[in-house]
């Protein structure tokens, strides 16, 4: 997750992969959907890093088509050896285009969640 692999999808990536996962860091997410490119900026507002958990919450900035927050969390269960990956998002459209295309933007958010989970599962399985 520190290398932004959960964003390593064919249509979504982090444009500044050198960004550290630390409070205050700006993350630039580049997305290519419906033949359009968008660059959306969010600021990390919370980091969790302990023996069993690693993750962060970022909040959108005014340079984002949505308004809200997203949480990414990896949890390791020492007893079972299992790893869980959680994505939680709360958002609403900010940009007029996002409002008009609300069903499409929601579908893309769900697509990101599904594909990010598959991508992380593959990365964890590979070791």
Burial profile 30-68: b = 16 or more Cβ within 10 angstroms, e = fewer: ebebeeeebebbbebeebbeeeeebbbbbebeeebbbbb
Domain boundaries, the chain: 5-126
- Options 1.10.3470, 2.20.25, 3.30.530, 1.10.1740; CATH of 5-126: 3.30.530
pLDDT digit of tens for each residue in the chain (127 aa)? Answer: 899 989 989 999 999 999 999 999 999 999 999 898 999 999 999 999 999 999 999 999 998 989 999 999 999 999 998 889 999 999 998 888 888 989 998 999 999 999 999 998 887 777 5
Show Cβ contacts of residue 63 under 8 Å, excluding neighbours closer than 6 positions: 39, 40, 41
Q: What is the pTM of this model?
A: 0.91
Query: 3-state class of 62 per DSSP?
Result: coil
């Amino acid at each position: 997750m520190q290398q932004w692999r959960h964003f390593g999808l064919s249509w979504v990536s982090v444009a500044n992969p050198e960004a550290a996962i630390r409070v205050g860091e700006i993350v630039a997410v580049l997305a290519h959907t419906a033949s359009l490119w968008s660059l959306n900026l969010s600021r990390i507002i919370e980091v969790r890093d302990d023996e069993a958990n690693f993750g962060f919450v970022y909040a959108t900035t005014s340079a984002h088509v949505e308004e809200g927050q997203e949480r990414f969390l990896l949890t390791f269960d020492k007893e079972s050896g299992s790893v869980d990956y959680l994505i939680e998002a709360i958002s609403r459209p900010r940009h007029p285009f996002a409002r008009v295309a609300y069903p499409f933007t929601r579908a893309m958010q769900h697509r990101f969640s599904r594909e990010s989970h598959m991508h992380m599962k593959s990365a964890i399985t590979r070791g």
